[in-house]
């Protein structure tokens, strides 16, 4: 199998963390198609976004669908939770991370330039992020992990989502939305001690640095040039 993924993509990061935690990394290769760099990812998958999992039976888009697929493919290694209630809580937390945090932060990046910013739009989007963080206060446990006593898919979704709150939102001229003394803040500190989370955070920080210093653009140009040359030969 092959996962089409990128360091800075939080939806991809949550699947990579799941793969690392399940111990199935040897079964799945990672790749970033040149079509993604060219803005033509729809040539690979109709949705046109990463992550996409390539299997012997075809392509599977959408991170939550991929997460479910991997848990079903490797039932003895699944990260669902120990009980029915834990499995429900893990799904709720993952949904909050995807829908209220990651998605709205992504959309808010369109308002990053203060000269073109529509403050009402930014306020609306970040209001949804705050709503999601508020909901997490009622769902996150008080232990080392989001749900129960072991790492679940909830942690795989929350780690990149909270990284975005911590590293991306302040670039919009807004204070960090993770407030000290809250369950979310306590959890964020604890999960950063987990080896799988640390690996994901290192990858995302690497991706951010590559974008900021121009490395990402340079590598994309080189990959596109190689693909163009190969196609013309």
pLDDT number for residue 232: 63
Residues 6+ apart with CB under 8 A from 207: 6, 7, 8, 9, 216
- CA 199 centroid distance within chain: 13
The pTM assigned to this predicted structure is 0.93
pLDDT number for residue 233: 59
pLDDT number for residue 67: 97
Query: What are the pLDDT tens digits along the chain (233 aa)?
Result: 999 999 999 999 999 999 999 999 999 999 987 777 777 778 878 888 899 999 999 999 999 999 999 999 999 999 999 999 999 999 999 999 999 999 999 999 999 999 999 999 999 999 999 999 999 999 999 999 999 999 999 999 999 999 999 998 988 888 889 999 999 999 999 999 999 999 999 999 999 998 888 888 887 787 778 777 776 65
Cite the residue boundaries of each domain of the chain with CATH code 1.20.1050.10: 84-193
Q: Which fold has domain 84-193?
A: Glutathione S-transferase Yfyf (Class Pi); Chain A, domain 2 (1.20.1050)
Which among 151, 177, 181 has a CA at the least distance from the CA of 164? 177
Please check whether residue 92 is in contact with residue 157, taking contact to mean a CB–CB distance below 8 angstroms: no
Cite the residue boundaries of each domain of the chain with CATH code 3.40.30.10: 2-77
Q: Assign domain 2-77 to its CATH architecture.
A: 3-Layer(aba) Sandwich (3.40)
């Amino acid at each position: 199998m092959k996962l089409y993924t990128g360091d800075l993509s939080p939806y991809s990061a949550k699947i990579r963390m799941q793969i690392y935690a399940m111990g199935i990394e040897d079964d799945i290769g990672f790749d970033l198609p040149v079509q993604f760099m060219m803005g033509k990812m729809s040539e690979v998958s109709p949705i046109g976004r990463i992550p996409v999992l390539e299997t012997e039976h075809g392509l599977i888009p959408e991170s939550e669908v991929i997460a479910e697929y991997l848990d079903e493919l490797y039932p003895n290694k699944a990260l669902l939770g120990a009980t029915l209630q834990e499995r429900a809580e893990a799904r709720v937390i993952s949904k909050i991370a995807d829908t209220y945090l990651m998605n709205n932060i992504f959309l808010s990046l369109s308002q990053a330039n203060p000269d073109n910013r529509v403050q009402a739009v930014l306020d609306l989007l970040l209001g949804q992020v705050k709503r999601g963080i508020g909901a997490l206060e009622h769902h996150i446990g008080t232990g080392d992990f989001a749900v129960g006593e072991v790492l679940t898919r909830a942690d795989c979704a929350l780690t990149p989502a909270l990284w975005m709150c911590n590293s991306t939102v302040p670039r919009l001229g807004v204070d960090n939305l993770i407030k000290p003394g809250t369950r979310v803040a306590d959890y964020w500190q604890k999960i950063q001690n987990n080896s799988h989370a640390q690996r994901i955070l290192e990858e995302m920080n690497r991706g951010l640095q590559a974008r900021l210093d121009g490395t990402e653009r340079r590598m994309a140009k080189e990959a596109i040039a190689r693909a163009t040359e190969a196609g013309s030969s």
